Amino acid sequence: MTAPAIARGAAGRAVDTTRPRRRRTSLRRRLTIAAFIAPSVLGLVIFFAYPLLASIYYSFTNFNLVSAPQWIGLRNYTYLFTEDPLIVTATLNTLWFVAILVPVRIVTAMGVAGLLARAKRASGFWRTLFYLPALVPPVASVVAFVFLFNPGTGPVNQVLAFFGIKGPLWFNDPAWSKPSLLLLGVWVMGDLMIIFLASLLDVPADQYEAASLDGANGLQKLRYVTYPNLIPVLVFAVITGVIAALQYFTEAAVASSVASGQATVGGSAAQVIGYPSDSLLTYTQWLYERGFANFQLGYASAMAVVLFVVAGLFLVLLLGRVKAFTPEGAR
Partner 1 sequence: MTAETMTTTLPADRRARDRGRRPKAMLLWIAEHTVLCVLAVLFLFPVVFVLLTSLMSSSQTLTPSLWPNPFDWGNYVRAFTQAPLALWFGNSLLYAVLATVFMLVSSVPAAYALAKLRFRGSNVLFVAIIVAMLLPPQVTAVPIYVMWSQLGLTGTLWPLILPNLLGDAFSIFLMRQFFLTIPTEYADAARIDGNGEFGVLTRVIVPMAKPGIAAAAIFMFFNSWNDYFGPLLYTSENSAAWPVAYGLASFRSVHGTDWGITMAMTLIVTIPVVVVFFFAQRVFVEGITLTGVKG
Contact 311, 272 (CB under 8 A): no
Interface with partner 1, residue 33, by CB under 8 A: yes
Region binding partner 1 by CB under 8 A among candidate stretches 72-80, 96-104, 113-121, 164-172: 113-121
Any idea what DSSP says for residue 144?
H
- Beta-bridge partners for 18: none
Among 172, 199, 226, 279, interactor with partner 1 by CB under 8 A: 199
Interface with partner 1, residue 268, by CB under 8 A: no
Task: Please give the residues from 119 up to 178 whose contact with partner 1 meets the rule CB under 8 A.
Answer: 119-120, 126-133, 135-148, 150, 152-153, 155, 158
Interface with partner 1, residue 231, by CB under 8 A: no
Interface with partner 1, residue 32, by CB under 8 A: yes
Interface with partner 1, residue 112, by CB under 8 A: yes
Q: How far is the CB of 73 from partner 1 (least distance, A)?
A: 18
Q: How far is the CB of 79 from partner 1 (least distance, A)?
A: 16
Q: Closer CB to partner 1, residue 89 or residue 285? A: 285
Q: How far is the CB of 18 from partner 1 (least distance, A)?
A: 19
Q: Closer CB to partner 1, residue 92 or residue 231? A: 231
- CB burial string 129-147: b at 16+ within 10 A, e below: ebbebeeeeeeebbbebbe
d(CA 134, CA 145): 14
Distances (CA, A) of 193 to 180, 200, 203, 316: 20, 10, 16, 25
Interface with partner 1, residue 179, by CB under 8 A: no
Q: How far is the CB of 250 from partner 1 (least distance, A)?
A: 4
Interface with partner 1, residue 40, by CB under 8 A: yes
Q: Closer CB to partner 1, residue 50 or residue 224? A: 50
d(CA 77, CA 248): 22
Among 185, 17, 11, smallest CA distance to 109 is for 185
d(CA 167, CA 155): 11
Distances (CA, A) of 255 to 149, 153, 178, 184, 273: 11, 17, 10, 11, 9
Give the DSSP letter string of 43-105: HHIIIIIHHHHHHHHHTTEE--SSSPPEE-TTHHHHHHHHT-TTHHHHHHHHHHIIIIIHHHH
Among 106, 115, 116, smallest CA distance to 236 is for 106
Region binding partner 1 by CB under 8 A among candidate stretches 73-81, 99-107, 163-171, 313-321: 313-321
Region binding partner 1 by CB under 8 A among candidate stretches 74-82, 97-105, 163-171, 316-324: 316-324
Q: How far is the CB of 175 from partner 1 (least distance, A)?
A: 22
Q: Closer CB to partner 1, residue 6 or residue 99? A: 6
Interface with partner 1, residue 68, by CB under 8 A: no
Interface with partner 1, residue 210, by CB under 8 A: no
